[in-house]
Amino acid sequence: MTYTAEPTRYDSITTARSGRSGLILPRVSLGLWNNFGEDRTFETQRAILRRAFDLGVFHFDLANNYGPPAGSAEQNYGRIHQLDFQPYRDELIISTKAGYQMWDGPFGEWGSRKTMVASLDQSLQRLGLEYVDIYYSHRPDPETPIEETMGALATAVRQGKALYAGISNYYTPEETRAAAAALRVEGVPLTIHQPRYNMFDRRIEELGLLDTLTELGTGAIAFSPLDQGLLTDRYLKGIPSDSRAATGRWMTESNISEAYLDRAKALNEIASSRGQTLAQLAIQWVLRDPAVTSALIGASSVRQLEDSLRALDGAPLSDEEIARLEPLAAKPA
């Protein structure tokens, strides 16, 4: 069946500008990290992406190694794009990254010029696109000069294979400033940074990264705002057999400690008092900081996607509510 996007898709979605750039993102973006590989049906993936776009989510985030297996998320998105989203390409922001292990040999990971250039060419082929909107260095390379990695991003922008340059997992202000300076020499701004950020992981606050990004005029898109499901009600009444904690994928049952449960239940009570789910509260908490352009969520079903997006319907967090959340917004012991 031919897909036609919902005409009212932009009526209620809220957006923000990435730093001082012209790049505008929805306040909640959809990441294809862990739910768009070969372990999910193609039709489920297609339904999630269609529903996201119909609700105004126009940013889809990928990386070369997303799956599983590595590369399959880009391949699956490429198929769906050709089937459904080709007429809407100029409305979409599509991003990808390189830096983690992707192929054999010395250039299958990290940040050499050869790795970054080759990986983008491979990603574009899998995606079936002429360009991506954002190309990220997925992690800093301790053995490669930052000038070489950033120079490769600048090359991608100059060649028209990417429109904006970004970095991800560069957690210290010093790393971020060095990346921005190297790009500036190339005449390309550092438009966006993608760090991990949630109530249980506040490193970027503690290290001063958000202040650094504001100073540089660079936006932030926070990944893992739900801490891989820990900041939801999924584990409040036990460990579901199909959950990440039960299967040992990315976390184990040891993460569901008494200290965690006490904290999650207290957070859930605050969310309930606001008429929200814990997930909605967690997303809204991440977005409370003006340095954060967008929260990057995952979704394994249309229902989960819709629940997360309802975070945008909630009233802004008051100073009193933020104060109540402050002692709970920390990694459980």
What is the tens place of the pLDDT at every residue in 119-147? Answer: 999 999 999 999 999 999 999 999 999 99
For residue 239, what pLDDT is reported?
58
Cα–Cα dist 166/180, whole Å: 9
For residue 237, what pLDDT is reported?
73
Is the separation of the CB atoms in 141 and 175 below 8 Å? Answer: no
Looking at every residue in the chain, the average pLDDT score rounds to: 95
Superfamily of chain region 15-229+287-317: NADP-dependent oxidoreductase domain (3.20.20.100)
What pTM value is reported for the model?
A: 0.95
Q: Where are the domains of the chain?
A: 15-229+287-317
Per-residue model confidence as pLDDT tens digits over 27-49: 999 999 999 999 999 999 999 99
Give the residue-averaged pLDDT of 52-76: 98
Strand pairing report for 15-17 and 24-26: antiparallel
For residue 235, what pLDDT is reported?
77
For residue 234, what pLDDT is reported?
86
CA distances from 8 to 4, 53, 55, 57 (A): 12, 11, 8, 12
Q: Kindly report the number of other CB atoms within 10 A of residue 246's CB atom.
A: 16
Is the separation of the CB atoms in 156 and 135 below 8 Å? Answer: yes
Of 4-8, 258-262, 279-283, least confident by mean pLDDT is 258-262
Whether residue 66 has pLDDT greater than 80: yes
**DSSP H or E segment with residue 155:** helix 146-158
For residue 1, what pLDDT is reported?
73
CA distances from 276 to 267, 269, 303 (A): 11, 9, 15
Per-residue model confidence as pLDDT tens digits over 221-247: 999 999 989 999 987 875 555 555 545
**pLDDT classification of 106: cutoffs 50, 70, 90:** very high
Give every CB contact of residue 115 below 8 A, 6+ residues apart in sequence.
98, 99, 107, 108, 109, 152
Is the separation of the CB atoms in 165 and 183 below 8 Å? Answer: yes
**pLDDT classification of 252: cutoffs 50, 70, 90:** low
Question: Percent of the chain having pLDDT more than 70?
Answer: 95
For residue 176, what pLDDT is reported?
98
Grouping H, G, I as helix, E, B as strand and the rest as coil, residue 118 is helix
**pLDDT classification of 64: cutoffs 50, 70, 90:** very high
Give the residue-averaged pLDDT of 14-28: 98
For residue 241, what pLDDT is reported?
52
Tell me the DSSP string of 71-117. THHHHHHHHHIIIIIGGGGGG-EEEEEE-S--SSSTTSSS--HHHHH
